[in-house]
Amino acid sequence: QSDVRGIVTNIPFLSALVTHPDVRANAIDTGFIERELKQLTPAPPVSGDLELCAAVAAILSEEANVVRRQPRSPWLTPGWMPVGRRQRLFRFRHGQGPEREVRLTYGNGPATLSIGEREIISTCSPTDEGGFDLTLDGMKSQVVAVVEGHELYLRTRNGRFDLHWVDPFGGESEEQVGEDKIVAPLPGTVVALLAEIGNKLEKGAPILTLEVMKMEQTLRAPFAGVLKVIKCSVGDIVGEGVELAEIEPLTS
């Protein structure tokens, strides 16, 4: 397994290629990839309950790591209560999909995660490889996770996923609010276009990704609207403040 962050890779394609039965049997020719391209490049998987639970576990693990670096912190026993239980609500978005909620209940007794009508008993333990084992209702899954602010990368048995953790206080990052023009917050290189002209976008939906100082930064829709103009292409080097896209608000 391989996990690469910060640049766009073709790892899913290579994984599909080397695990294809014909490749494993060495029964291929020079036209193989062209014939099998659709099978080798399937649509990205849709995140499910496992990925949502893994996202919550990754956030809690990251928060615990921060607390452990502060040995005198009063929060070294998160969730402990002599009586009663507490709840915490998480919201996630995968690509341009709708927001989904996960409610964590914890405190006195095992933690549970609620997604819609489903309630799941959850436990999590770190592994030597840097990930963690997530057990949901008795079924164990290995997870690799990277948390970068409100952006999460997950690898589960279902594939690789990029989720956005919606700010619980509504204070999304600077590039997500304000005017109808999407501008480069800093000089950088356009590495991905995530929406097309004419797409109807929800507030916070990703539009494009910039590589800024060796880090990727996704620029998102500041409000629900229609993407009217894209003024850049993948590979373009843009300066700070350059207009990259324009959105027209949806009218009721």
pLDDT (tens digit, 9 = 90+) per residue, 205-228? Answer: 889 988 877 777 888 888 889 999
Give Cα 59 distance to the centre of its chain.
12
Residue 55 burial class via C-beta count within 10 angstroms: exposed 0-12, middle 13-18, buried 19 and up: buried
Mean pLDDT of 87-107: 87
Q: Note whether 124 and 214 are same-domain residues.
A: no
Average pLDDT over residues 40-61: 90
Q: How confident is the model at residue 177 (pLDDT cuts 50, 70, 90)?
A: very low
Q: What is the DSSP letter of 11?
A: H
Q: What is the pLDDT of residue 123?
A: 92
State whether 35 and 83 are in the same domain.
no
| pTM reported for the whole predicted model | 0.60
Helix (H/G/I), strand (E/B), else coil: 210? strand
Domain housing 24: 1-43
Do 134 and 227 belong to one domain?
no
Q: Could you say which DSSP state residue 59 is in?
A: H
Residues contacting residue 114 through CB under 8 Å, at least 6 positions apart? 102, 103, 105, 120
Q: Which residue has the higher pLDDT, 81 or 196?
A: 196
User: Is the dihedral angle over the CA atoms 238, 240, 246, 249 positive or is it negative?
Assistant: positive
Do 115 and 15 lie in a common domain? no
Burial classification of residue 138, based on how many CB atoms lie within 10 Å of its CB (0-12 exposed, 13-18 middle, 19 or more buried): exposed
Copy the structure tokens of residue 82: 């002599």
- Do 56 and 3 share a domain, yes or no? no
The band of 17, judged by pLDDT with boundaries at 50, 70 and 90, is very high
Helix (H, G, I), strand (E, B) or coil at 167: coil
> Is residue 122 located within the same domain as residue 179?
no
Residues 55 and 158 in one domain: yes
**What's the DSSP call for residue 251?**
P
Asked whether residue 114 falls in the same domain as residue 181, the answer is no
